[in-house]
Chain A
Amino acid sequence: MVDDDSALAEMLGIVLRTDQFDPSFVSDGSRALQAFRDTRPDIVLLDLMLPGMSGIEVCRAIRAESGTPIIMLTAKTDTVDVVLGLESGADDYVMKPFKPKELVARMRARLRHHDDVAGEALTVGPPDSPVSIDVQAHQVVRDGAAIALTPLEFDLLVALARKPRQVFTREVLLEQVWGYRHAADTRLVNVHVQRLRSKVERDPERPEVVLTVRGVGYKAGPP
């Protein structure tokens, strides 16, 4: 948990402990990365406005070495900051003032482990260069090379790949991947589809694996 407000951090600590989490705290952005390496957390809560190093930079730094889920805590309503945070690698965001239940729900959604069927293997993308997914092993391989995806990106790809012919609206993806019950910010989907494409596509400008269906949403490319 990276936040410079000690009262909020303490309060969050109380709330999270009652929900069986074991939080550790950093108040300074510049020390966040070291703390991350030391504690190897399951999930990172990150305030966007931090002394030392901005939340965006911390986010980018953590993402550079790990796929650990990151949830941004943001008080800024300006849309630009949210998009910037998502683009720098955050999986989800919670707007202050948030209800603790909401935050915990978001965290649980990110930490949830799917009931992965043993040996489930999926294939998407063009026949000459398919993307193979080993769901249980959390491994994605294309052209013999393993692709490192964050858990969220992996979930997104698996959700699409499980039903290759189905078109998913952004709302459905929000529900299946992020666990939102009601309509939320569909930019989450847009940003993460872009990130996913940048990793799995040969040419992100001309996607073959995750296709856009104009006016509806996304679907997986034919296997």
Chain B
Amino acid sequence: MSADEILSAHASADRASGGPLPTSAARPARAPSDTAPEDPQAGQRPDAAGPGPWRWLARAGRLTLAFLAMVGRRLVDAWRRSLQFRIGVTTVVVTGVVVVAIGIFLVDKVAGGVLQSKRTAAINQAKLGLSSARSVLQDVDATVYAEVADAQRQLSSVLAVGTVGAGSFDIVLSTASSFSPNLSENESIPIALRNVVRRGSLATAYAPVPRAGSKGLVKGLIVGEPIASRTGLFELYYRFPLTAEEQTIALIQRTVTLAALALIILVLGIAQLVTRQVVQPVRVAARTAEQLAAGDLSRRITVRGRDDIALLGRSFNDMADSLQRQIRRLEDLSRLQQRFTSDVSHELRTPLTTIRMAAELLHGGREEFPPELARSAELLDTELDRFETLLGDLLEISRYDAGVAHLESEVGDVRDVVDSVVDATRMLAQTQGSEVIVEAPDEPVTADIDARRVERVLRNLVGNALDHGEGEPIVITIGMDDDAVAVAVRDHGIGLQPGQASMVFTRFWRGDPSRSRLTGGTGLGLAIALEDARLHDGWLQAWGEPGQGAQFRLTLPRVAGHTLMHSPLPLDPTEQPEDDE
């Protein structure tokens, strides 16, 4: 209980030290929601305009975010999966940057040039009008407003006569003391420009000017010209609207933009075309490789030309040829082996039949023989049995090795198979004095099985268990789950030495050579059983402890072709309390 106290003390200490942290962390988090009302969090505040719209906004925001995330994922996916997409995007980005840079530079240069020439023309216009302006203003009193206004009207008509290609303009006349008659017009002349002109030099400035013939202002160029007279300094301003130039510049901008877009699309198209030319053969190669892998060995790529792609195709075809040759050779070998097996089978079996009959005849009449001959006849008979079994097993194994063993599976109840195995081994069990106990579920244990093979496996396992069970009970457990069925055969005999569990399936392997062979095992039984299990895509495993006995577990998928992940029964029976008798 002292530990409890320490623990709780720690907890409170944590809380105390951690106390200030959450508040300080919360403060910056709350700050934006105060300043930014569009924050979705703000919708939860009771004093907001109303929870409805905020919540709606928040949902819309979330939906948009989700949509964007989805689109993003799609794009990332496409980026990873499609070379064509990747090249397309890269091309567009790179071309786009370059084209935009060039476009900006171009528009800037052209616009600068247009404005520059306009300015030059405007200055020329101003210089041209200087003498006539001077003559008009000769007698005007700069201090009298009416005279100045009159002079401006006069100048307007005089100066408009000789233009030098600077376009239309109007003029504003001003003096140091008085403004032009129209005040609103005067305001459009920047102070900075006026200050320069008043100091006696010609100057230009860009500023809004009234549009010719209508209200409102347009962008314009103003040229200011000082004209000294005896009554004072006149400032004469030429106002050029830049409408035409603006239009020119806008046109250029539009043209450049269109050209840029066209260029990007063109480059994208070219990139796609080129990529397609590369990607298409790769895709064809991939598809062909898949078909080859699926077993269609005659598949080839159509090769055209002599370029790199054609090289790929040719190398691919060469590879396929070589593969096909190898596989053909292996197939021939396998067929040969199969033929051989079949021939050996026939050639051996016919004389064996004769020997068998002769032996049986001798065996049948052994009572009339002297004891040695009678015993010989018996030995001949029993050993012929063994020989026959061995021959059968060898042929069976060679069928597996030749890959000609086929599964004839149909849905069956494993319990029935176990029952028939128990029936078949009853005689042996009685001889051995072992009791065979079957622990089976009450419901049918169905699976796709080749009953003949499964029965052979189980007969082998049970025979083995009886052989090594030393008269102790043999327990056959049947287990089932959704994916697999399992049968475990447990004996309580001498068990297996460490490391022997994997050896038992080796052909002709014997745990203890000195042990008597009661069932006349060929040494191939477990090897065949293992092959039978493999043919079912199943497992056959062994467990054993010295003095604890051994257990063999057969696990089969319930649906043919299904990959096994686990077994419904444990391999080590000591994990199960009811098996520990």
A interface, CB within 8 angstroms of B: 5, 7-8, 11-12, 14-15, 18, 49, 73, 75-78, 96-101
A99-B345 CB under 8 A given contacts A7-B351, A15-B361, A77-B395 = no
Which partner residue on chain A sits nearest B395 by CB separation? A77
Which partner residue on chain B sits nearest A9 by CB separation? B354
Which partner residue on chain B sits nearest A18 by CB separation? B361
The 5 closest A-B pairs by CB, nearest first: A75-B349, A96-B349, A75-B346, A97-B353, A97-B352
List residues of chain B with CB within 8 A of the CB of A5: 350-351, 354
B68 at the interface (CB under 8 A from A): no
Give A45 Cβ to nearest chain B Cβ, in Å.
12
List residues of chain A with CB within 8 A of the CB of B352: 96-97
CB atoms of B354 and A76 under 8 A apart: no
Interface contacts (Cβ under 8 Å), in number, total: 52
Q: How distant is the Cα of A75 from the Cα of B354 in the complex, in angstroms?
A: 13
B358 at the interface (CB under 8 A from A): yes
B545 at the interface (CB under 8 A from A): no
CB atoms of B351 and A49 under 8 A apart: no
Q: How distant is the Cα of A73 from the Cα of B350 in the complex, in angstroms?
A: 10
CB atoms of B354 and A11 under 8 A apart: yes
How many chain B residues touch A (CB < 8 A): the figure is 16
A11-B358 CB under 8 A given contacts A77-B395, A97-B388 = yes
Which partner residue on chain B sits nearest A78 by CB separation? B342
Contact of A96 among B353, B361, B395 (CB under 8 A): B353
Give A92 Cβ to nearest chain B Cβ, in Å.
17
Give B378 Cβ to nearest chain A Cβ, in Å.
16
Which chain B residues in 325-359 approach chain A with CB under 8 Å? 342, 345-346, 349-354, 356-358
List residues of chain A with CB within 8 A of the CB of B349: 75, 96-97
Which chain B residues in 404-455 approach chain A with CB under 8 Å? none
CB atoms of B351 and A8 under 8 A apart: yes
A12-B345 CB under 8 A given contacts A75-B350, A97-B352, A97-B388 = no
Residue with the greatest number of chain A CB neighbours at <10 A, chosen from B350, B356, B358, B388: B350
A76-B357 CB under 8 A given contacts A5-B350, A96-B349 = no
Contact of A98 among B353, B358, B395 (CB under 8 A): B353
A96-B350 CB under 8 A given contacts A77-B345, A77-B395, A78-B342 = yes
B360 at the interface (CB under 8 A from A): yes
A100-B360 CB under 8 A given contacts A7-B354, A78-B342 = yes
Q: How distant is the Cα of A75 from the Cα of B349 in the complex, in angstroms?
A: 6
List residues of chain B with CB within 8 A of the CB of A78: 342
